[in-house]
């Protein structure tokens, strides 16, 4: 029998404003489902970053704060430390988190802040028109590297899960992909676990979601999902990099 999918009440009943085929909207839906299932929407505070993900502010119906570019982990730290009974999470893109905000995320993780981070990696600066991001793949064309990323000139893609898993404090670090129903289900489980860990008082939890940018990748939506499977997830392998409960 077909199952009726009901919109979580912490999501506004309005059309999303992302490009057609963009998986930001899926990431937001998964986060909302987790908030609803854990019954924490009422005490949630979303700290939004700068980028396409900022449009999450149009979607959620929870308390929100908008941080300056890259600064969401610091803002989230301040909120959680002063209001420990709230549930605080950030929603950040790869330009935001791994470039201008690299220091912020590393030190929030190193301090073991009791916040959760949802990191949407579409391997480009989506909102500003497809410039090279830290996560852009070798050979991938961007508006600032029209012939493709050249490691000799531009360096190699930055793997945030690997970097963060060198630190001692985080309780959970995982990478998932939003390219297929099976991977989307796993992504939801990972987000839920990260959120649960904060509720249990465990330190910093981080979920990276490999996503797409149909506009700046210049690909049809289905091709972009295939690309995540065949190319992006080869460079950024999926898996759990830290899970204190599992001894990983
Ligand atoms: C201090 C500052 N520097 C630069 C910008 C311009 N800016 C806005 S969005 C953005 C890129 C965001 O890219 P990403 O974090 O990858 O998110 P996406 O849009 O791809 O989801 C940049 C550089 C800004 N708003 N503030």
Structure tokens at 33: 């489902």
How far apart, in whole angstroms, are the C-alpha atoms of residue 164 and residue 226?
A: 27
How far apart, in whole angstroms, are the C-alpha atoms of residue 206 and residue 217?
A: 25
212: Cβ below 6 Å to ligand 1?
Answer: no
Distance 85 CA to ligand 1 centre (A): 31
Query: What is the reported pTM?
Result: 0.97
Per-residue pLDDT of the chain (248 residues; tens, 9 = 90+): 677 778 999 999 998 899 999 999 999 999 999 999 999 999 999 999 999 999 999 999 999 999 999 999 999 999 999 999 999 999 999 999 999 999 999 999 999 999 999 999 999 999 999 999 999 999 999 999 999 999 999 999 999 999 999 999 999 999 999 999 999 999 999 999 999 999 999 999 999 999 999 999 999 999 999 999 999 999 999 999 999 999 99
pLDDT of residue 5: 76
Q: Which residues neighbour 120 within 8 Å (Cβ) at sequence distance 6 or greater?
A: 23, 24, 27, 53, 91, 92, 93, 94, 209, 211
Pocket probe mutation, ligand 1, options 118, 128, 133, max atoms within 8 Å of Cβ: 128
* Phi, then psi, of 238 in degrees rounded to 5: -75, 155
Which residue minimizes the CA distance to atom 12 of ligand 1? 51
The domains located in the chain, with CATH, are 24-246 (3.40.50.970)
Contact in structure between 199 and 38 (CB atoms under 8 Å): yes
Which residue minimizes the CA distance to atom 4 of ligand 1? 69
pLDDT of residue 222: 98
72: Cβ below 6 Å to ligand 1?
Answer: no
- H-assigned helices in 46-101: 56-59, 72-82, 94-95
């Amino acid at each position: 029998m077909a199952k009726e999918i009901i919109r979580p009440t912490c999501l506004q009943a309005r059309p999303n404003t992302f490009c057609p085929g963009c998986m930001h909207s899926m990431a937001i839906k998964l986060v909302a489902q987790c908030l609803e299932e854990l019954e924490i929407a009422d005490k949630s505070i979303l700290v939004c970053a700068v980028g396409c993900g900022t449009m999450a502010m149009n979607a959620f119906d929870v308390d929100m704060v908008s941080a300056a570019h890259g600064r969401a982990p610091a803002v989230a730290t301040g909120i959680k430390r002063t209001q420990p009974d709230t549930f605080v999470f950030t929603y950040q893109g790869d330009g935001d988190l791994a470039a201008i905000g690299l220091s912020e995320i590393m030190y929030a993780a190193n301090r073991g802040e009791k916040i959760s981070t949802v990191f949407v990696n579409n391997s480009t600066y989506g909102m500003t028109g497809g410039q090279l991001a830290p996560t852009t793949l070798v050979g991938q064309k961007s508006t600032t590297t029209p012939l493709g990323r050249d490691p000799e000139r531009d360096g190699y893609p930055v793997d945030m899960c690997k970097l963060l898993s060198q630190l001692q404090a985080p309780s959970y670090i995982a990478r998932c992909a939003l390219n297929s129903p099976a991977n989307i289900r796993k992504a939801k489980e990972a987000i839920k676990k990260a959120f649960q860990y904060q509720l249990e008082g465990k330190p910093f939890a981080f979920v990276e979601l490999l996503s797409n940018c149909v506009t700046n990748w210049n690909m049809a939506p289905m091709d972009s999902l295939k690309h995540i499977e065949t190319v992006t997830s080869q460079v950024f392998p999926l898996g759990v990099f830290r899970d204190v409960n599992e001894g990983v």
